[in-house]
């Protein structure tokens, strides 16, 4: 229960900070942000797929060192 409360506290702090940033946007920028909609989610999903794909791979050995 304590861990969950800490996670919620961190989430609320993050959201509060994000809102403060959004609140300072001019109307044109705010409309652009809102129009991004699900595109942001798609980018995050792609990032997740890419990073999961890279986790199992190791760096190639360096030659000539």
In order along its 65 residues, the chain shows pLDDT tens digits of 899 999 999 999 999 999 999 999 999 999 999 889 889 989 999 999 998 887 766 566 666 65
pLDDT of residue 22: 94
The CA distance from 8 to 46, in Å, is 26
Q: For residue 4, what are its two tokens?
A: 């969950």
pLDDT of residue 52: 87
Predicted TM-score (pTM) of the model is 0.55
Contacts with 30 (C-beta within 8 Å, 6 or more apart), sequence order: 22
Domain ranges, ordered by start, for the chain: 2-54
pLDDT of residue 37: 85
pLDDT of residue 43: 92
């Amino acid at each position: 229960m304590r861990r969950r409360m800490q996670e919620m506290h961190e989430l609320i702090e993050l959201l509060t900070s994000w809102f403060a940033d959004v609140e300072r946007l001019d109307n044109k920028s705010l409309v652009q942000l809102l129009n991004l909609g699900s595109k942001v989610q798609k980018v995050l999903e792609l990032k997740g797929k890419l990073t999961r794909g890279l986790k199992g791979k190791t760096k190639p050995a360096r030659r000539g060192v």
